Copies of this chain bind each other. A is one copy, B any other.
């Protein structure tokens, strides 16, 4: 084992090269890549890419050296009867996990054959949760009433920092000398964190000016960005969206090779397993589908952690089984972030989800797709076909 006493000299030549204007033109991206190739003895013909204009990645990445390429496939069709999405959709998914797309496709077709999935967006609000510090508990206790009375001022202030983000509400959580203020924002079609964090900084500075706080931090960790928590299971974050469908006995039998009872038993058994594990939420493999769609469509993929805080249900029904997923904290965007990059934009276009006014639609399609995956996974476990399917499609293919 290397010992700390073993001196390793780090010199200026070990730091990544600082290039003019941060080095986004293709020539400088290449120079940086070559620097790494030399330093690490690695060649990168594929990462180097072809035909990219790296200048377009400014604002999305630093120290660019090229592109990561993940195979993209498509699953579907899924018939959606939503508030925002209506019709038949094909869903682009980028993944390296064999059998994943086949599984989602199978579930989506099963939903479609059963008459489609209904979808609805119950709430749509992102949030930040800065914390404010006071001398003592008494001082902290006086703050909530004051800040609640200033909501209109803060709304006006936020409006000066962003035209898309709207401060809608605030709620205080005093804890010892610290008061966490959860700020709920309308965010239009963006993921919105940058926008609302900037607005939140303005809010913090305004408060600092108008109220005798000792200090503040922009983040308390409570808002649930990119983490799993009981708070976002109930409070939500981003979009709370539900998809549901009645799978008929015929579809279950002919297409998924299970009975309603078998499928239901898997649900019940795995709910118990998840509860025994002290898990957040319950689902079969929501994170699989979310990740594949997020990579394909230029979402902030780390948001899969909060977005997969969800609840899948399978309910016995006289005509089959009623299946649903409720994603409590789905972060999807159709503007901003990586959505305008070349392949994401094309992928979004497959679902007619490019640009303004499309985020709720995308959320509903995502929910329907995830529901497809839950149905298919449950059926594969129930019918004992899981391993067989992975042998056929997965990376464990026989040589």
When distances are taken between beta carbons in the complex, the residues of chain B under 8 Å from A221 are 269-274, 277, 279, 282, 284
Q: Is A253 an interface residue (CB 8 A)?
A: no
- Least CB distance, A66 to chain B, in whole angstroms: 5
Q: Is A304 an interface residue (CB 8 A)?
A: yes
**Residues A342 and B302 in contact, CB atoms below 8 Å apart:** no
Q: Is A250 an interface residue (CB 8 A)?
A: no
**Residues B113 and A10 in contact, CB atoms below 8 Å apart:** yes
When distances are taken between beta carbons in the complex, the residues of chain B under 8 Å from A36 are 74, 90, 350
Q: Is A218 an interface residue (CB 8 A)?
A: yes
**Residues A279 and B386 in contact, CB atoms below 8 Å apart:** no
| Closest B residue by C-beta to A278 | B230
**Residues A74 and B275 in contact, CB atoms below 8 Å apart:** no
Please pick, from B226, B234, B350, B384, the residue contacting A234 in the complex, using a CB distance under 8 A.
Answer: B234
C-alpha spacing A366/B62, complex, angstroms? 19
- Least CB distance, A35 to chain B, in whole angstroms: 9
**Residues B10 and A88 in contact, CB atoms below 8 Å apart:** yes
C-alpha spacing A343/B315, complex, angstroms? 44
When distances are taken between beta carbons in the complex, the residues of chain B under 8 Å from A282 are 221, 275
Assuming the contacts A131-B273, A269-B217, asked whether A197 and B10 have C-beta atoms less than 8 A apart, the reply is no
Interface residues on chain A, size class: 35 or more
Assuming the contacts A177-B324, A195-B396, A222-B276, asked whether A62 and B102 have C-beta atoms less than 8 A apart, the reply is yes
The A102-131 residues at the B interface (CB cut-off 8 A) are 102, 105, 109, 112-113, 115-120, 122, 129, 131
**Residues B291 and A395 in contact, CB atoms below 8 Å apart:** no
**Residues B397 and A315 in contact, CB atoms below 8 Å apart:** no
Assuming the contacts A105-B16, A277-B232, A346-B47, asked whether A40 and B287 have C-beta atoms less than 8 A apart, the reply is no
- Least CB distance, A228 to chain B, in whole angstroms: 4
- Least CB distance, A1 to chain B, in whole angstroms: 5
C-alpha spacing A264/B49, complex, angstroms? 42
Assuming the contacts A174-B120, A176-B311, A272-B175, asked whether A344 and B68 have C-beta atoms less than 8 A apart, the reply is yes
Q: Is A25 an interface residue (CB 8 A)?
A: no
The A256-286 residues at the B interface (CB cut-off 8 A) are 261, 265-266, 268-285
| Closest B residue by C-beta to A323 | B176
- Least CB distance, A351 to chain B, in whole angstroms: 7
**Residues A97 and B197 in contact, CB atoms below 8 Å apart:** no
Q: Is A357 an interface residue (CB 8 A)?
A: no
Q: Is A86 an interface residue (CB 8 A)?
A: yes
The A1-48 residues at the B interface (CB cut-off 8 A) are 1-4, 6, 8, 10, 14-16, 32, 36, 39-47
A sample of 17 more A-B contacts (CB under 8 A), given A4-B116, A61-B73, A198-B387, is A10-B113, A49-B69, A59-B395, A59-B396, A61-B101, A62-B393, A66-B72, A68-B94, A97-B337, A141-B242, A219-B273, A222-B234, A224-B279, A231-B277, A231-B278, A271-B275, A276-B311
Query: Nearest 7 CB-CB pairs, A to B?
Result: A230-B230, A230-B278, A96-B338, A176-B324, A220-B273, A120-B141, A137-B244
